[in-house]
Amino acid sequence: MQLLQQLTQQLINGLALGSIYALVALGYTMVYGTIRLINFAHGDIFMMGAFVGYYLVTVLQMNVFLAMGIAMIFCAVLGVVIEKIAYKPLRNSTRVAALITAIGVSYLLQNLMVYFVGPEVRAFNSDFPNVIFRVGNLIISSKQIFVFATTIILVLVLQVIVQKTKMGKAMRAVAVDSEAAQLMGIDVDRVISFTFALGSGLAGIAGVLVGVYYNSVSPLMGTGYGLKAFVAAVVGGIGSIPGAMVGGYLIGLLESFVTFLGLSTYRDAVVYGLLIVILLILPAGLFGKNVKEKV
C-alpha cells in the first residue's frame, strides 16, 4: 500500500515537470512542422522568458499572472525577430546551414545573458501561495496544480487556434506544402512568423512557470530544458502537437520515477536512452508519420 502511494506521488511530481517539457516541446514541434527547422535556440528563448519573469516578479514585485503575459509577449517578439534576422535568409539553403545557425543563436543568447547578469543561479521569489493539500498520504502543492492546469489550458487554446482559426488552417496548409499554399494566396512569411511567435510565447510562459515552481532561474537553464523538450518532441513525433504533449509528460514521469529509484545521477542518461530506443523502434516517434522525401 505504501509503495502504491509513493508511486502515485511520483506520478503527481512527474506530471508537473512534464507540463513544462510539453510547453517547450510544442515550440520545437510547431516550427519543425511548418518549415522543417529544428530551432535549437528555442531553449534559450525559454530561458529569456524565465528571466523576464524573474525581473518582473522578484525585482518589480509584479503579479505572477501579469508577468506571464508580459514574458509571453516578449518571447513572441524575440522569436519573430530571430526568425527574420537569422532564419529567413537561409530558408532556401541547406538544412545543415539553418541548423548551425540555430545553434549559434542559442549560444549567442546564452552568453549575452551570462555577460549581462552573470552565470549565477538567481532566486525566483514570487507571491504565488504554495499551499499544500493532503489527500491521504499524498502531497499535492498549489504550484503543481497551477503548472499542470496552465499547461492544459494553453494546449486547449493552441488546439483551437490550429484547428478552428483561419491562421491555424494556413499553418496546416504550409506544413503540408508551402509552395502550393503560396499559390493558393497564403502569405507564407506571415504564417511562419506567427508560428514562431506562438511557439516562443509558450516557451516564455514555461520559463515563468519554472521560476515559480522551482524558485530559481539561471542563464544556463535553457540548454538542459531545451534538449529534454527536444527529446520529448522527437519521442512524441516531431511535428505533432499531441505527440509533443505525450512526449513531455513521458519524459517528466520517467525522470520522476528514476529519481524515486535512487538513480537521479543517471536521470539524463535514461532520458536519452529512451530517445534511442524510440528512434530504433519508431523512427517517426509515437505520433509521427513516416514521410518519404524527394531527393
pLDDT tens-digit map of 71-102: 999 999 999 999 999 999 988 888 889 889 99
Confidence of residue 24 (pLDDT cuts 50, 70, 90): very high
Mean per-residue pLDDT over the chain, rounded: 90
Q: Is the pLDDT of residue 136 over 90?
A: no
Question: Which residues are CB-contacts of 47 (< 8 A; sequence separation ≥ 6)?
Answer: 109, 110, 113, 207, 217, 218, 219, 220, 221, 222, 225
Q: Is the pLDDT of residue 293 over 60?
A: no
Mean pLDDT of 18-33: 92
As a whole number of angstroms, the distance between CA 201 and CA 30 comes to: 12
Q: Is the pLDDT of residue 292 over 70?
A: no
C-beta separation of 102 from 40 below 8 A: yes
C-beta separation of 71 from 205 below 8 A: yes
Q: Is the pLDDT of residue 153 over 80?
A: yes
Domain ranges of the chain: 15-219
Judging by DSSP bridges, how do beta strands 138-141 and 216-217 pair with one another?
unpaired
Mean pLDDT of 202-207: 95
User: In angstroms, what CA-CA distances link 293 with 99, 231, 290?
Assistant: 18, 22, 10
Question: DSSP label at 91?
Answer: T
Question: Which residues are CB-contacts of 159 (< 8 A; sequence separation ≥ 6)?
Answer: 241
Q: Which amino acid is present at 128?
A: F
pLDDT at 270: 92
Q: Is the pLDDT of residue 294 over 60?
A: no
Q: Is the pLDDT of residue 295 over 50?
A: no
